[in-house]
Amino acid sequence: MKEKIRNTATTLFLERGFKSITMDDIANELGMSKKTIYNEYSNKTELVEDCVMHKFCTLSEGIDSIAAMEKNPIVELYEIKKYVMSHLNDEKTSPQFQLMKYYPKIYSEMKKMHFDKMQKCVLTNVLRGKQQGIYRDNIDSEFVARIYYTGMNNIKDQNIFPIKLFPVAKLMDSFLEYHLRGIVTPKGRTILNTIINSNQE
């Protein structure tokens, strides 16, 4: 029962936001009473926390599985982006910023976990790319990993990148290309251009 509630609530939160979705909305969607939900969760904050942490763990496991394949590092980043996008419903309501505003404690905990995960993932990716000669030797790997994290988070701010001008899928593609063009070698650029051209077909 708890898993069913969590899955439904997560979908609703991602589609319409943490603030606008009420316990009544979740109960109606599930066709059950609020009392049944409160048997599993004492309040909405507890439910939000469970949804956020469970989604984070699911995404982390998926990213680990992709990284374990040890694909070409450029291909790996596109695979990870595709995987994350498919699990976040395009983040239509910018849930990260709603979480920050209405559930700051949960947001703070999630942000730390997200940074640790993403920094380690991108750093490993950069080091592998340098070893394979597709990323430039003279880049500061630690800087690149951290600036990628910072950029990926800030482009989700719809005050800066309004969704009407920058649909999420297009924005993510543009940012990833921007990131890679700054660090690839001529060999890496050939791989990148092949991926971009195949995605446009």
Provide the pLDDT confidence category of residue 89 given band limits of 50, 70 and 90: low
The two three-digit tokens of residue 93, written as one number: 């309501």
Q: 85 is in which domain, residue-wise?
A: 44-200
Q: What is the pTM of this model?
A: 0.88
For position 90, which CATH number holds? 1.10.357.10
| Domains: count for the chain | 1
Assess whether pLDDT exceeds 90 at residue 88: no
Residue 133 lies in a domain: yes
Q: Write out the DSSP string of 173-185.
A: HHHHHHHHHTTB-
Q: What are phi and psi of 184, to 5 degrees?
A: -80, 155
Residue 126 lies in a domain: yes
Residue 94 lies in a domain: yes
Provide the pLDDT confidence category of residue 186 given band limits of 50, 70 and 90: very high
**Cα–Cα dist 155/147, whole Å:** 12
Q: Which residues share a beta bridge with 135? A: 184
Q: What is the mean pLDDT of residues 41-55?
A: 96
Cβ contact 145:198 at 8 Å: no
**Cα–Cα dist 67/124, whole Å:** 9
Angle at alpha carbon of residue 78, lines to 110 and 142, rounded to 5°: 60
Closest CA to 45 of 64, 71, 19: 19
What separation in angstroms does the CA of 8 have from each of 2, 30, 186?
A: 10, 7, 46
- Name the DSSP class of 17: -
Q: What is the pLDDT of residues 119-141, one digit of tens each?
A: 999 999 999 999 999 999 999 99
Q: How many residues does the chain have?
A: 201
Residue 112 lies in a domain: yes
Percent of all residues in the chain with a pLDDT value above 90, rounded to a whole number: 79
Q: What is the mean pLDDT of residues 140-151?
A: 96
For the chain, the maximum distance between any two Cα atoms, rounded to a whole number of angstroms, is: 61
Residue 20 lies in a domain: no
Provide the pLDDT confidence category of residue 168 given band limits of 50, 70 and 90: confident
What separation in angstroms does the CA of 148 have from each of 140, 166, 198?
A: 12, 19, 24
Q: What is the mean pLDDT of residues 37-62?
A: 96
